[in-house]
Amino acid sequence: MTKLIEVPFQLSHLYYNIVSKLGTPFFTNVNGVGSFIPPSAIDPTGIQPYQLLVFKEIINIYMGDKKCGLYNFCKTRPDKDITNEHCLTSPWERGTEDELCPLGQLWKTWGLNGQIPID
């Protein structure tokens, strides 16, 4: 842990390497604005504007929803339809797929792959 800080108030290169590979958990700043830093291997372009909605959907899934509430949004994306059968039955599976939707990206970033919500 001590190698993560080089001198007081200055993070080390090791710290930035770890964040680059693993990303960060969801966090909020002093103004209550939430965000996270995804791993560099995940393209965050499609998720950044919608991350709070995705966070809400993950909570809904853990509260028992079996259908992703972003289904219609993803179905009508102007660039392409990124939905599949998992969106309607088991959205937590989206984090294991090659083409990640916004929910799948956040699910994978948070290390939730392999986790199945219990009713």
Q: What is the DSSP string of 6-45?
A: EETTEE-HHHHHHHHHH----EE-TT--EE----TTS--T
Residue 36 lies in a domain: yes
Q: How many domains, in total, are found in the chain?
A: 1
Amino acid at 25: P
Residue 116 lies in a domain: no
Spatial CB neighbours of 34, under 8 Å, sequence gap ≥ 6: 26, 27, 28, 51, 52, 55
- The predicted structure's pLDDT at residue 56: 86
- The predicted structure's pLDDT at residue 119: 63
Residue 118 lies in a domain: no
Average pLDDT of the chain, as a whole number: 84
Residue 70 and residue 57 in contact, taking contact as beta carbons nearer than 8 Å: yes
Give the pLDDT band (50/70/90) at residue 83: very high
Percent of the chain whose pLDDT exceeds 70: 91
Residue 119 lies in a domain: no
pTM over 0.95: no
